[in-house]
Amino acid sequence: EPGQPQRDAESAAERCAQLAAIIDWLAVDKPAHQRYQPTGGGTTFCNVYTHDYCFLANVYLPRVWWTPGAIEQLAKGETVEPLYGKTIDEQRANDLFRWLRDFGPRFGWRQTGTLTKLQEAANLGGIGIIVAQRKIDGKSGHIVAVVPETDDQKAKRDSDGSVTGALQSQAGVTNFRYRATPTQWWKGDQFADSAFWIHA
């Protein structure tokens, strides 16, 4: 779209400023931005928002991806036409959990084990993600962006300075541009597994 911001600067400070501009431009909490608003039936769009954030930051996170059968054909060198529901599927949060595990490193993603490292990467102008997979695959998982701290928006830290609540931006049941909470939602009983991912 005309005027959409991007992350393409060299310095960490400039990249962080560009990410803040992306968050403000996407305005996930603005009711007029229907793309991200939860439906009355309980459908949420965390995957769409996180994709859009990554896209504007020039980082690849798929909205659709090849089906296992299509990947087998591609591995054999065959040409595969992208057909929705046949050779490609939409990537929801549960799918993105698996995609990051199976394909993420090929696209520049790396996993980290602590919220502190995740927040530090975001504060350097990188992309951070928390993704959780539901125990019941038909139920919605969740994915959020971990975003750079600003003068007004800070992560939660303990007395040693370790991050206990990363600064997050999400679409979901509740949409928000910035929020840090020590509640580690990805450890909820409804989730089978979770992971922290970073892209430079």
Report the 3 state secondary structure along 127-166.
EEEEEEEECCCCCCCEEEEECCCCCCCCCEECCCCCEEEC
Domain count of the fold of the chain: 1
What pLDDT is recorded for position 33? 92
What pLDDT is recorded for position 178? 98
What pLDDT is recorded for position 37? 93
Q: Whole-angstrom Cα distance, residue 200 to residue 186?
A: 23
Tokens of 22: 């992306």
Asked, for residue 1, whether it belongs to a domain, the answer is: no
Pairing of strands 163-165, 156-157: antiparallel
Asked, for residue 47, whether it belongs to a domain, the answer is: yes
Asked, for residue 162, whether it belongs to a domain, the answer is: yes
CATH no. for residue 138?
Answer: 3.90.1720
Parent domain of 120? 12-199
Asked, for residue 124, whether it belongs to a domain, the answer is: yes
Q: Are 155 and 149 in contact (CB under 8 A)?
A: yes
What pLDDT is recorded for position 114? 96
Q: Whole-angstrom Cα distance, residue 117 to residue 98?
A: 22
Task: Give the Å distances, CA to CA, from 145 to 48, 136, 166.
Answer: 11, 23, 10
What pLDDT is recorded for position 182? 77
Asked, for residue 5, whether it belongs to a domain, the answer is: no
Which residues touch 126 (CB under 8 Å, ≥6 apart)? 15, 198, 199, 200
Asked, for residue 2, whether it belongs to a domain, the answer is: no
What pLDDT is recorded for position 80? 95
As averages over each run of 10 residues, the pLDDT of the chain (200 residues) reads 91 97 97 91 92 98 95 95 94 96 97 97 98 91 97 96 97 95 91 96
What pLDDT is recorded for position 2? 80
Asked, for residue 170, whether it belongs to a domain, the answer is: yes
What pLDDT is recorded for position 1? 77
Asked, for residue 29, whether it belongs to a domain, the answer is: yes
